[in-house]
Amino acid sequence: MFDLKFIRENKELVKKAIQNKNESLNLDELLGLDEKRREIISSVEELKRQRNLSNQTIALLKKEKKDAKAEIEKMRGVSEKISSLDNSLKEIEDKIDSLLLRVPNIPHSTVPVGFDENSNVVIKEWGELPEFSFEPRAHWEIGELLGILDLARGAKLSGSGFYALIGKGALLERGLINFMLDLHTKEHGYKEVWPPFMVNRASMTGTGQLPKLEEDMYLCEKDDLFLVPTAEVPVTNLHRDEILKSEELPIYYVAYTPCFRREAGSYGKDTRGILRVHQFDKVEMVKFVKPEDSYDELEKLVANAEEVLQLLNIPYRVRLLCTGDLSFAAAKCYDIEAWAPGVKKYLEVSSCSNYEAFQSRRIGIKFKPDPKSKAEYVHTLNGSGVALARTVAAFLENFQTEKGTVVVPEVLRPYLGGLEEIS
RNA sequence: GGAGAGGUGCCGGAGUGGUUGAACGGGACGGUCUCGAAAACCGUUUACCCCUUACGGGGUACGGGGGUUCGAAUCCCCCCCUCUCCGCCA
Q: Which of the following is catalytic: A261, A319, A361, A362?
A: A261
Whether the beta carbon of A50 falls within 7 A of nucleic chain B: the reply is no
The nucleotide minimizing the C1' distance to residue A62's CA is: B18
Report the pLDDT value the prediction gives residue A63, as an integer from 0 to 100.
81
- Enumerate the β-bridge partners of residue A351: A335
Q: What pLDDT was estimated at residue A340?
A: 98
Interatomic CA distance for residues A193 and A253, integer angstroms: 7
A344 touches strand B (CB under 7 A): no
For the CA atoms of A91, A328, A108, A5, the dihedral, rounded to the nearest 10 degrees, stands at 0
CB A164 within 8 A of CB A279: no
Q: Which residue has the higher pLDDT, A347 or A56?
A: A347
Helix orientation angle between A27-63 and A11-20, rounded to the nearest 10 degrees: 130
The answer to whether some atom of strand B lies closer than 7 Å to the beta carbon of A69 is no
**Strands of the A332-340 sheet, one edge to the other:** A121-126, A316-320, A332-340, A345-354, A379-387, A279-289, A251-260, A191-193
Q: Is A174 a catalytic residue?
A: no
Asked if strand B comes closer than 7 Å to A79 Cβ, the answer is yes
Average pLDDT of A32-60? Answer: 92
Nucleotide with smallest C1' distance to residue A80 CA: B70
Residue A18 pLDDT grade (very low, low, confident, very high; cuts 50, 70, 90): very high
pLDDT number for residue A375: 84
Return d(Cα A30, Cα A39) in angstroms, integer.
Answer: 14
CB A181 within 7 Å, strand B: no
Catalytic residue among A203, A294, A350, A351: A351
The reply to whether A38 Cβ lies less than 7 angstroms from strand B is yes
Q: What's residue A369's pLDDT?
A: 79
pLDDT confidence bin for A116, thresholds 50/70/90: very high
Cβ neighbourhood burial of A15 (10 Å; 0-12, 13-18, 19+) = middle
To the question of pTM greater than 0.90 for the whole model, the response is yes
Q: How far apart, in Å, are the Cα atoms of A62 and each of A51, A70, A78, A226?
A: 16, 12, 20, 54
pLDDT tens digits, residue range A326-372?
999 999 999 999 999 999 999 999 999 999 999 999 988 988 877 66
Q: Is A297 marked active-site?
A: no
According to the model, what pLDDT value does residue A69 have? 85
Instruction: Determine the Cα–Cα distance for residues A395 and A400; give it in Å rounded to an integer.
Output: 8
Q: Which of A276, A319, A361, A362 is catalytic?
A: A276
In angstroms, rounded to a whole number, what is the distance separating the alpha carbons of residues A273 and A280?
A: 12
Q: Pick the closest to residue A157 from A247, A279, A245, A75 (CA basis).
A: A279
What are the distances in angstroms from CA A400 to CA A165, A170, A422? 17, 17, 9
Determine phi and psi for A416, rounding to 5 degrees: -115, 30
More confident call, A195 vs A374: A195
Within A 345-404, residues with CB less than 7 Å from strand B: 371-372, 374-375
Asked if residues A172 and A416 have their Cβ atoms less than 8 Å apart, the reply is yes
Pairing of strands A376-377, A365-368: antiparallel
Say yes or no to pLDDT of A247 above 70: yes
Whether the pLDDT of residue A391 is over 70: the answer is yes
pLDDT of residue A371: 67
Q: Is A49 a catalytic residue?
A: no
Rounded mean pLDDT of A20-34? 94
Q: What is the mean pLDDT of residues A45-50?
A: 92
Structure confidence at residue A398 as a pLDDT band (50, 70, 90): very high
Q: Using one digit for the tens of pLDDT, what is the confidence trace for A163-214?
A: 999 999 999 999 999 999 999 999 999 999 999 999 998 899 989 898 888 8
Asked whether residue A62 carries a pLDDT value surpassing 90, the answer given is no
Statement: the CB of A202 is under 7 Å from strand B: no
So what's the ipTM on this one?
0.87
Q: Quick one: average pLDDT of A281-309?
A: 97
Q: What is the pLDDT of residue A262?
A: 93
Task: Indicate the average pLDDT of chain A.
Answer: 93
